[in-house]
């Protein structure tokens, strides 16, 4: 499975935008880019996913580089409830979801 690289941790101020980067230089043409997040003692929660084009939903936006070797998850206005570990994962269609270490996001009031 193609691997992803994310910073171990990031900090943000409440109500400011957050850009969470992810590098995936070995991505293949059939890999979807998925983002999940996990709060302590809970199961992961789906955030967003995309293949080639940028994606928006009510939680976040996903910006995918033209060569698809990197992507950025954008939280438009961080809240305290957004503090979590964010996982960027490459996944073949309907295939396994292999988690890396993720980025721990802290949000300061």
CA nearest 22: which of 76, 87, 66?
A: 87
Per-residue contact flags (x/-) with other proteins for residues 71 to 90, judged by CB under 8 A: ----------------x---
Q: Is 41 in the site for other proteins (CB under 8 A)?
A: yes
Task: Identify which range of 13-21, 23-31, 64-72, 99-107 contacts other proteins by CB under 8 A.
Answer: 99-107
Q: Residue 56: beta bridge partners?
A: 61
CA distance 14 to 82: 9
Tell which one of 27, 90, 102, 103 touches other proteins (CB under 8 A): 102
Residue with tokens 């941790």: 9
Q: Is 91 in the site for other proteins (CB under 8 A)?
A: yes
């Amino acid at each position: 499975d193609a691997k992803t690289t994310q910073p171990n941790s990031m900090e943000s101020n409440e109500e400011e935008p957050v850009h969470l980067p992810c590098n995936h230089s070995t991505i293949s043409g059939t890999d979807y880019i998925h983002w999940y997040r996990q709060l302590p003692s809970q199961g992961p929660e789906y955030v967003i996913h995309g293949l080639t084009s940028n994606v928006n939903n009510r939680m976040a936006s996903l910006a995918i580089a033209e060569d698809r070797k990197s992507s950025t998850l954008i939280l438009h206005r961080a809240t305290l409830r957004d503090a979590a570990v964010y996982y960027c994962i490459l996944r073949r269609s309907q295939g396994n979801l292999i988690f890396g270490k993720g980025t721990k996001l802290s949000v300061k009031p």
